[in-house]
Amino acid sequence: MKESIGSRLVRLRTAIKTVFGMPDYEAYLERHRRVHPEKEPLSRREYYAEYLKHRYESGGPTRCC
Q: Is residue 36 part of a domain?
A: yes
> Which of 6-10, 27-31, 38-42 tops mean pLDDT?
38-42
Instruction: Tell me if 63 is assigned to some domain.
Output: no
Percent of the chain with pLDDT over 90: 34
Q: What is the chain's alpha carbon radius of gyration, rounded to the nearest angstrom?
A: 15
Q: Flag whether pLDDT at 61 surpasses 70.
A: no
Contacts of 51 (CB under 8 A, 6+ apart): 23
Q: What is the pLDDT of residue 53?
A: 87
Q: Which residue has the higher pLDDT, 29 or 59?
A: 29
Quick check: 63 pLDDT over 70?
no
Domain that holds residue 17: 5-56
In the chain, the number of structural domains is 1
Helices (H), the chain: 5-19, 25-35, 44-56
Please check whether residue 62 lies inside any domain of the structure: no
pTM: 0.63
Residue 61 maps to a domain: no
